[in-house]
Structure 1
Amino acid sequence: MKRPIAPRAEIIVSDPRWRASVGNIEQLVQRTCQMVQRYGMIFAPDAPGPSFVFSDNRHIQRLNAQFRGKNKPTNVLTFEPPSPLMGGDIILAYQTMQREAEQGRKSLREHTTHLLVHGLLHLAGYDHHHPGEARKMEGLETFILRRMGLPDPWKPRLQGHMSAPAPLILSR
């Protein structure tokens, strides 16, 4: 059974490079949550929202070692809530995300949006441990991102091509 994602969210920006590179993080998180709710068919108007932590490699490496036994940084960690009364946590590492965005020839904002969608779908109960689950989750990620005006994150980019950030349009 899929878990609902609430529109209310706590946002912590512990690395100031996020704001300089991505812009208005609060709008990005709000819009991404709205789109995942709408197109992921997840509804929860009164449930608690997740926490989003925009951090760095050092912080995420400590968490990755502690909770996954992997002593290295990763792009994003998603922690499911211990109870339905909590919203879960999504933590992103600036340096890893920036490097991946450059390697993938996309803006950091675009890559961040993709991994926010990915993390929110994890919190909603989607997973990618098996090929069928992975195809379903990747397909839903692509569907949501296209509705947000972003390209398919799974298609390779042409050399030298960087996509422009999508305009933020908040719907109510």
Structure 2
Amino acid sequence: MIDIVTDDDRWAAFGLPAVVERATEATLAHLGLDPEVCEIALLACDDARIAVLNADYRGKAKPTNVLSWPAEDLGPDDPGGDPLPPEADPDGTIPLGDIALAWETCIREAEEQGKPPSDHVTHLIVHGTLHLLGYDHETEADAALMEGLEKTILGKMGLPDPYAISDGP
């Protein structure tokens, strides 16, 4: 159950709902969660909006590609450990949190990396969903776990390793 708020009209022609659904379903299913009961809100915005959000929530007054706000802190106690499983509300739904994507940064990064924009955005949605589930990349052990999951999930979707070095377009 995904609620998409489109704050930048350029996302409308991108086909974002299908990309978001595919990426979140693959991520949740890989981790043994039922996508039908998990709730995520996604803001499709521009660099100006995400720069304000990044400044407000992370103290970094610049645009970024993706931001995530987990509904609860599921992070592990030890670096490289598995996060706690999310808990369902009494009605059976599992609120995971919010994700924001910035149009200009996402498209620019895809071009710089020589990737189709839909592949790059898919990766960022998988990345953001993992953040909602308590995964992070603050330590080497955490990054290895999270990046390994990203590679596996994207591989199952038929997409290449997002961390492989590309010579560009």
- TM-score range (shorter-chain normalised) is 0.7 to 0.9
Structure having the higher strand fraction is: 2
| Corresponding residue for residue 50 of structure 2 | 60
| Corresponding residue for residue 134 of structure 1 | 143
Moved more, 29-38 or 55-64: 29-38
The answer on 1:103 being equivalent to 2:112 is: yes
The answer on 1:34 being equivalent to 2:25 is: yes
The CA distance in 2 between the partners of 1:61 and 1:34, in whole Å, is: 28
The answer on 1:88 being equivalent to 2:88 is: no
| Corresponding residue for residue 163 of structure 1 | none
Alpha-carbon contact 2:45-2:103 (below 8 Å) kept: yes
The CA distance in 1 between the partners of 2:36 and 2:123, in whole Å, is: 25
Moved more, 74-83 or 86-95: 74-83
1:115-134 deviation line (CA, Å, top 9, x unaligned): 00000011111111110110
| Corresponding residue for residue 169 of structure 1 | none
What's the CA shift for 1:155?
A: 0.4
| Corresponding residue for residue 78 of structure 2 | none
Moved more, 79-88 or 95-104: 79-88
**Runs of 4+ that moved beyond 3 A:** 44-48, 82-86
| Corresponding residue for residue 126 of structure 2 | 117
Would you say how many aligned residue pairs link Structure 1 and Structure 2?
A: 150
1:3-60 deviation line (CA, Å, top 9, x unaligned): xxxxx1111111111232x3x2211111111111222x23146744110111001110
The CA distance in 1 between the partners of 2:53 and 2:168, in whole Å, is: 34
**What TM-score do the two structures reach when normalised by structure 1?**
0.81
Alpha-carbon contact 1:42-1:124 (below 8 Å) kept: no
1:18-33 equivalent positions in 2, closer than 5 A: 18-20=11-13, 22=14, 24-33=15-24
Gaps of 5+ in 1: 1-7, 161-172
* Amino acid of the structure 1 residue aligned with 2:153: I
Gaps of 5+ in 2: 74-86, 90-94
What's the CA shift for 1:87?
A: 2.7
The CA distance in 1 between the partners of 2:130 and 2:7, in whole Å, is: 23
1:91-121 deviation line (CA, Å, top 9, x unaligned): 0000111111111111111110000000001
The CA distance in 2 between the partners of 1:15 and 1:46, in whole Å, is: 27
The CA distance in 2 between the partners of 1:147 and 1:46, in whole Å, is: 20
* Amino acid of the structure 1 residue aligned with 2:21: Q
